[in-house]
Structure 1
Amino acid sequence: MAILAAAFCTWALLTLPIQGAVILVVASVLGWSGWIAFSYTRPVKSRKVIAVYLCAVGFQLIHMAEEYTGGFPHEIVELFDSPRDWPEKEFLLVFVFGFGALYFFAGAGALYRIRVANFFLWWYALGAGLLNGIAHFVFPILKGGYFPGLYTAGGHFIMSGLLIYLLIKENRVLKAEEQQQVQSLVR
């Protein structure tokens, strides 16, 4: 997973407007950290966590629709005076359809407690959700007005916060179950 994340970060830094790429790189680091700290050894078991994740991903698609209709790829390039263009077709193919599919595949993998799927739960929660939500409150300040994604950023932020809370809580529950099993074996 580390090799895939590093390759993805390299691609993002070499091809996307640098501000978008930096957000994705930070998202990858945060996602990796959350995954290793909380879900790598104890993959998510609770369907409640997975249901909230899938609802958050559904909300992400609504958020991406606002970004697309508001011209986000063009606006972010203009906001930061980036030398790299970001074609709408690339934005749709990679970030809406590509990541959208990946997020849903990760949800299906999480149902079967596949470890790598849990990486994407954390990548989404901390990066695409929380970090992206924060960025969408900063961009309008920098621009001095509406920035595509602002209207749905609050819901995005809330859904990600709830998901992070549930992922951490899930880890504590699974850890307690493990300790209880060990204690019952010792007796």
Structure 2
Amino acid sequence: MTQRPEPYSAAVMAILAVAFCAWALLTLPLQGAMILVVASVLGWSGWMAFSYVRPVKSRKVIAVYLCAVGFQLIHMAEEYTGGFPHEIVQLFDSPRDWPEREFLLVFVFGFGSLYFFAGAGALYRIRVANFFLWWYALGAGLLNGVAHFVFPIIKGGYFPGLYTAGGHLIMSTLLIYFLVKENRQLKAEDQAPQPLAVR
């Protein structure tokens, strides 16, 4: 059954996404910040197109998402041990520094917590929680995975995150497939004729 549409969740997440993008553009190296901006736009767009009106219902989709988030932590462990914040600053000769402490607090611990809270919220079909499923699928997974194959080409050698980037592409592709399939199933259920009530 379709949940009753309401504009508030979309507006709140749009405002939060814009605020996050503004923070990223003002504080992080611009190349890294631009990936986060594109990820925010893609995540919000995917959420609105597929899971806003019909939040995810299948536990299979949520299980794939949680496995993807677990893999994200493995990927970020590779980034951290390889000095990703320092390396991206050097790669693009950015005038802005990216302290490792900020990288850990915001992107590992902060977003890591949000991802798991969103998984719990998705179990109860909380609309806002579904935003983070799409944020991972299209942003932290797909876009990030592609970027990690581009960085070594620019550098001409290994770049932190390369070894686990393929896993990102696999997990995000699976998640996108299941999210779109789930939307189609829920839409078909909504459009199916309802049986007449027996008096």
Aligned partners of 1:186 and 1:93: how far apart in 2?
55
Per-residue deviation at 1:184? 1.8
TM-score calculated relative to the size of structure 1: 0.97
Matched, 1:184 2:194: yes
1:59 matched to which residue of 2? 71
Percent of aligned pairs with the same amino acid: 88
1:83 matched to which residue of 2? 95
User: Unpaired runs of 5+ in structure 1?
Assistant: none
Q: Tell me the amino acid that sits aligned with residue 107 of structure 1.
A: G
Aligned partners of 1:164 and 1:11: how far apart in 2?
28
User: Unpaired runs of 5+ in structure 2?
Assistant: 1-12
1:151 matched to which residue of 2? 163
1:38 matched to which residue of 2? 50
Q: How does 1:96-115 map to 2 (within 5 A)?
A: 96-115=108-127
1:161 matched to which residue of 2? 173
TM-score calculated relative to the size of structure 2: 0.91
Per-residue deviation at 1:52? 0.2
Aligned partners of 1:80 and 1:69: how far apart in 2?
20
Q: Tell me the amino acid that sits aligned with residue 115 of structure 1.
A: R
Is the helix fraction higher in 1 or 2? 1
Pairwise CA RMSD of aligned residues? 1.0
Q: Tell me the amino acid that sits aligned with residue 135 of structure 2.
A: W
Per-residue deviation at 1:80? 0.4
Aligned length: 185
Provide Cα deviations, 1:119-143, integer angstroms capped at 9, x if missing partner. 1110111000000000000000000
Distance 1:25 1:186, change over 3 A: farther
Aligned partners of 1:161 and 1:80: how far apart in 2?
28
2:5 matched to which residue of 1? none
